[in-house]
Amino acid sequence: MAEMGLMEKIVSLAKRRGFVYPGSEIYGGLAGTYDYGPHGVALKNNIKNLWWKTFVEARDDMYGVDAAILMNPKVWEASGHVAGFSDPLVECSNCKSRFRADHLADPDTCPSCGKKGTLGEARQFNMMFKTHAGAAENESAAVYLRPETAGGIFVNFKNVVDSFHPKLPFGIAQIGKAFRNEIAPRDFIFRLRELEQMEVEYFVKPAEWEGAFEDWRGRMHAFAKDIGINSVHELEVGDGDRAHYSKRTIDFEFDYPFGRKELWGLAYRTDFDLSAHERASGASLQYLDEETKEKFTPHVIEPSLGVDRTLLAVLASAYAEDELGGESRAYLKLSPKIAPVKAMVSPLLKNKPELVEKARDVREELRKIHPAIAWDDNGNIGKRYRRQDEIGTPFCITIDFDTLGEHPELLGTVTLRHRDTGAQERLTVSEVRQKIEEAL
Ligand code: ATP
């Protein structure tokens, strides 16, 4: 399978089967934006819910927040984003196209018109989207759309400490949209202008940062495995390349069809943010250790995961092609935990009321485990299976005349078909229920 071929196949499947559509498509789109369709939003929610369950609900040391996207602009001055959240921009004097200077293959040649020596000096371009709050459109009313969810966590540090009195180490987690005016959005949902992040700020005693860093490093690999992302590579980010707030960063990279690129980041942000917000806001953001009566500013470990890049890595890891029953097929080997549809129930024939009625009963029974159990009685059974394969449904259940007792020894049994192998087995409904329950 040619490398670019794979990306085109994923983009095409994503559109055709209702995972991801270009944003504002009927108006010709809007660069850097995509819309999630019915299966896409289900997959995305399943990924986010699993992350939330794993890193917030299942732990006693984690607190969730959902902060506003619009924040007081002083937040972004204090965090260094107003001064420093920028990429180097160059413009071609011939065709006026703009590029990120650090992404150019040849710094002397314009990638758009091909002219040599037309690219000007690089200047820093701030990536925050600016808008106005209220009716006055002057500078004092300027606000930014947040460029990362972390800001909303730091400004709520004091609130969470005051409400819950957590003992260190503890973390605050948030899932939400972030906005970056990327110079050149590209590669489908990899580099977007409107994106979503799942972030944790994990607060530790300064001397304990290394242990927490290692712990989160392991947990991020485990989460990748859990959602079926294969082969994540680590890149230790060098001194000159780290963000302004970081003392150590590991990029978690994935082999996307367009190359090895950053999937997630893990950063040691020291006390940079809490100290900066304390200085700028005047609020005390120190932590009082009740046992030692010592007051200090906690340090922070930040695992930062982009939802869209995660979903793309999930699709790229899951996409598979093979031959089944003499026909070629494309399917998604999604983990049942995150598959948009968990199982499909089908009567062998849709014009036999007794089959349809039994199939409906079976579907209702399975829906007690999970509501995402689909129904399909359209076309022949092989086609129904292929449609589910393409969206990654792990199980298909077919109700036939044997279910109704045509061969008395098979009464009450159904066919359970497995997505990856196409293998089928004859089981009772309660056995099927148990299998699905175990997989989710
Ligand atoms: P890059 O170097 O690729 O621009 P970054 O280092 O600026 O990314 P971070 O600031 O560390 O990214 O953001 C944390 C995470 O948010 C990234 O690891 C990625 O998963 C996601 N992310 C960042 N920028 C984008 C974007 N433009 N589109 C989609 N996801 C993004």
Confidence at residue 429, expressed as pLDDT on a 0 to 100 scale: 96
Q: What is the 3-state secondary structure (H, E, C) of 68-84?
A: CCECCCHHHHHCCHHHH
- Whose Cα sits closest to atom 3 in ligand 1? 262
CA 435 to chain centre: 27
Strand order in the sheet with 170-179: 62-64, 170-179, 194-204, 299-306, 259-270, 248-256, 232-236
Ligand 1 pocket, 255 CB below 6 A?
no
- Whose Cα sits closest to atom 8 in ligand 1? 262
Side-chain-side CA neighbours of residue 302 (13 Å): 32
Tell me whether strands 123-126 and 86-91 are parallel, antiparallel or unpaired. antiparallel
Ligand 1 pocket, 390 CB below 6 A?
no
Ligand 1 pocket, 264 CB below 6 A?
yes
> Whose structure tokens read 């995150």?
338
Ligand 1 pocket, 431 CB below 6 A?
no
Confidence at residue 2, expressed as pLDDT on a 0 to 100 scale: 44
Instruction: Name 129's Cβ contacts closer than 8 Å, sequence gap at least 6.
Output: 144, 145, 179, 180, 181, 193
Ligand 1 pocket, 34 CB below 6 A?
no
Assess contact for 126 and 133: CB atoms under 8 A: no
- d(CA 204, CA 210) in angstroms, rounded, equals 10
- d(CA 391, CA 326) in angstroms, rounded, equals 21
Ligand 1 pocket, 269 CB below 6 A?
no
Ligand 1 pocket, 180 CB below 6 A?
yes
Ligand 1 pocket, 194 CB below 6 A?
no
- Whose Cα sits closest to atom 9 in ligand 1? 265
Pick from 195, 235, 249, 301 the residue to mutate for probing ligand 1's pocket: most ligand atoms within 8 Å of its CB: 195
Residues of the chain scoring pLDDT < 50: 1-4
Supply the angle between the helices 38-52 and 307-318 in degrees, to the nearest 10: 110
- Whose Cα sits closest to atom 16 in ligand 1? 306
Ligand 1 centroid – CA 266 distance (Å): 11
Ligand 1 pocket, 195 CB below 6 A?
yes
Ligand 1 atom closest to the CA of 264, numbered from 1: 18
CA torsion 180-184-187-193 (nearest 10°) is 20
- Whose Cα sits closest to atom 12 in ligand 1? 265
Give the closest residue to 237 by CA, choosing from 266, 206, 213: 266
Confidence at residue 241, expressed as pLDDT on a 0 to 100 scale: 87
- d(CA 62, CA 303) in angstroms, rounded, equals 13
Ligand 1 pocket, 182 CB below 6 A?
yes
Ligand 1 centroid – CA 5 distance (Å): 25
Give the closest residue to 424 by CA, choosing from 439, 413, 437: 413
Confidence at residue 32, expressed as pLDDT on a 0 to 100 scale: 97
Ligand 1 atom closest to the CA of 87, numbered from 1: 4
- d(CA 397, CA 335) in angstroms, rounded, equals 18
Confidence at residue 4, expressed as pLDDT on a 0 to 100 scale: 47
Pick from 128, 302, 308, 309 the residue to mutate for probing ligand 1's pocket: most ligand atoms within 8 Å of its CB: 309
